Amino acid sequence: MVAQDKQNFVQQICTAEPMARHTSWRVGGLADTWFRPATRKDLLEFLSTLAPGTPLYWVGLGSNLLVRDGGIRGVVIAVQDALSDIEYLGNGQVTAGAGVACTVFARHCVRQSLGPAEFFAGIPGTIGGALAMNAGAFGGETWQQVATVDVVDRQGNVRTRTPADYTISYRQVDGPDDEWFLGASFVFDENYDTSMEKVKALVNERKDKQPLGLPSCGSVFRNPPGDYAARLIEASGLKGFAIGGAVISTKHTNFIINENSATAADIEALIEHVQAVVYEKHGVTLQPEVHIIGERA
């Protein structure tokens, strides 16, 4: 475990950290350096000490991430402690740090009668991840509600940007290189017709349709235009297909489950197999939604 010493961020650094502890697939090799800052100040000071060009990877809940078995050469930063603040500023405006779980954010907004925000309950990650990929669920998308974002560069310099600084599309956000999201300011409608019951209903809908509670990353592939990845995968006869310990879910075929001590290599091979079969049978190239990082063993 990483020691939490707010006075000395060095105590929050681990070396040779198993990434299988920090990804929802429960796979992944060793990270050279793992840093879990206790405060935003720790994070900014740490960044300022790094040598130029040091590879950096940012992790929230690890729910949209496949770390290869050879691990990560560089520094992994876990943001859920340092960037966990939520604040309602009035006039429909809410700020949230990149480490805030999307389900927590959804409930906070609903308690303030703000919306549309319930859809965040369907995103199995953090606000930082949602910003990075324009995550969405139940018809809503993250950047539809963004007013501004706070970002940091590798020297620890912070600035505020607007959506105009990014090219935003379905599950993709392109912007300045070597900047990472610290958090965002969102704007919602006030006195929105919403309730915690609606959030619970959406969560229950996910439980009914998705294999929650099993090691997965959420949806593996983006939906192609005018179709659904899950439909194409099932129509290709791949429901329940396995490579090693990695299995295509029989409940929702856009989920790959770590069912029997899968390796990252098993999962990546299954992703590539699905792409090849779906293309062969339907002429559609499925694009992964999951981020794959690290080195092969």
Residue 206 banded pLDDT, cuts 50, 70, 90: confident
Amino acid at 201: A
Average pLDDT for residues 69-98, to the nearest whole number?
Answer: 96
Q: Which of 35, 59, 78 is the last residue of a domain?
A: 78
Q: Is the pLDDT of residue 79 over 90?
A: yes
110 lies in the same domain as 187: yes
Residues taking part in catalysis: 171, 219, 289
Q: Using one digit for the tens of pLDDT, what is the confidence trace for 142-191?
A: 999 999 999 999 999 999 999 999 999 999 999 999 999 999 999 999 99
117 lies in the same domain as 16: no
Nearest CA-CA partner of 42 in 80, 10, 88, 64: 10
Q: Which of 60, 78, 96 is the last residue of a domain?
A: 78
- Look up the domain containing 261 and give its range: 210-293
> Do 254 and 29 touch, CB atoms closer than 8 A?
no
pLDDT of residue 2: 36
100 lies in the same domain as 182: yes
Residue 1 banded pLDDT, cuts 50, 70, 90: very low
111 lies in the same domain as 172: yes
Specify the 3-state DSSP secondary structure of 120.
helix
Domain containing 34 — which CATH number? 3.30.43.10
Q: Which of 32, 54, 78 is the last residue of a domain?
A: 78
pLDDT of residue 5: 40
Q: Is 1 contained in some domain?
A: no
Q: Is 138 contained in some domain?
A: yes
Q: What is the number of domains present in the chain?
A: 3
Q: Is 201 contained in some domain?
A: no
95 lies in the same domain as 178: yes
104 lies in the same domain as 176: yes
217 lies in the same domain as 150: no
What is the DSSP code (8-state) at residue 250? Answer: S
Q: Is the pLDDT of residue 60 over 50?
A: yes
pLDDT of residue 10: 67
Rounded CA separation 208/51 (Å):
48
pLDDT of residue 8: 59
Q: Is 3 contained in some domain?
A: no
Residues 6 or more apart in contact with residue 258 via CB below 8 angstroms: 25, 26, 27, 214, 215, 216, 245, 246, 267
Domain containing 246 — which CATH number? 3.90.78.10
